Amino acid sequence: MKNKLALKNGDLKKRLDEIDKRVYEKAFTGFYESRLEIFLGEWEKGKEIVSFLGGVKTTLSWRELERQTGRGDDALKKWHDLYQKHPKYDEYLKIIEKKAHEWTIKALNPKNKEVIAMLHTGDQESYTPQQYVESARKIMGSIDLDPASNEYANRELVKATTYFSAEDDGLSKEWKEKVWLNPPYEYPLIKNFIDKLIAEFKSNNVSDAILLTNNNTDTQWFHDAAINSQIVCFTKGRINFHKEDGSLSQPTNGQSFFYFGDKKDFFAQEFKKYGLIMTVVNNE
């Protein structure tokens, strides 16, 4: 006679398979992101197992669960106990962000931590050359907000009506009108800033925006930005960002500009001098 729990929850294996599929698809998007996804996937699988077992009186053994799901009982118990220990997502995320960063440094080059951290996360204090900012201002008419900036960058380059520094925590503020956004490239900050921009644009708080990121086309945040924008410019060559001391950064890949708003033809005419223009045809 089949176990009643198995009959009731026969799709547990399917749910675990779906989590694994997503994790494995991201395994090559970058050491940090993939390691973060693995840690998060373990937590999610633990949540599914706890939900599966919760509130049901059963004598179902870990060996039986192993047979049903195709996972080893040691792994199933590990995921189960992990979620039981860290049931709050936000708290667990803080733990695994640190672990993923440490693992990435070690995996890439354990003898040169500073260089590897810079290559992977990006230089958080480099500034966009003036001509790109002026093109953005030309398209939008003005820059009302730069939510990821500092006093020097705003005074010397962007000259937005309002800016938020790291100390201000721009993610916690309301964004309005015309936005220029060159977010920190460290994950998950880059994703958080892009999610915030999309939400504010969809809520009609932001009327126009130009987003500048590196061209990591295999990441989820890049796809989210593209599908919610109207048009994208892939730069021809790499942008050498300025530093406050006058030196230039040496980026490891190219960049992309995303435009959000109703002036995509104007954007195309202005930004075609910087690279390849592609219209988004499957945006929501």
CATH of the domain at 177: 3.40.50
The answer to whether residues 148 and 274 belong to one domain is: yes
The answer to whether residues 16 and 100 belong to one domain is: yes
Is 284 part of a structural domain of the chain? no
Top-ranked range on mean pLDDT: pick from 193-202, 217-226, 240-249: 193-202
The answer to whether residues 200 and 86 belong to one domain is: no
Top-ranked range on mean pLDDT: pick from 80-94, 134-148, 149-163, 186-200: 134-148
More confident residue, 22 or 16: 16
Q: What is the pLDDT of residues 100-117, one digit of tens each?
A: 877 766 665 544 433 333
pLDDT at 167: 85
pLDDT exceeds 60 at position 29: no
C-beta separation of 46 from 71 below 8 A: no
The answer to whether residues 54 and 99 belong to one domain is: yes
The answer to whether residues 151 and 260 belong to one domain is: yes
Is 114 part of a structural domain of the chain? yes
The answer to whether residues 134 and 116 belong to one domain is: no
Task: Give the model's confidence band at 12: pLDDT under 50 very low, under 70 low, under 90 confident, else very high.
Answer: confident
φ, ψ at 64 (rounded to 5°)? -70, -40
The answer to whether residues 141 and 273 belong to one domain is: yes
pLDDT exceeds 60 at position 120: no
Give the mean model confidence (pLDDT) for residues 181-197: 89
What domain range is 87 assigned to?
A: 4-120
Question: Using CA atoms, how far apart are residues 237 and 275, in angstroms rounded to an integer?
Answer: 8
pLDDT at 250: 57
Residues 6+ apart with CB under 8 A from 273: none
Judged by phi (left if over 0) then psi (alpha if -120 to 50, else beta), residue 130 lies in alpha
Q: At residue 240, what is the residue type?
A: N
Own/partner pairs for 269-273, CB < 8 Å, 24+ apart?
A: 270/135, 270/138, 270/139, 271/135, 271/139, 271/233, 272/233
pLDDT at 102: 76
The answer to whether residues 192 and 220 belong to one domain is: yes
Q: At residue 13, what is the residue type?
A: K
C-beta separation of 162 from 145 below 8 A: yes
The answer to whether residues 79 and 160 belong to one domain is: no
Global pTM?
0.58
Give me the number of domains the chain comprises.
2
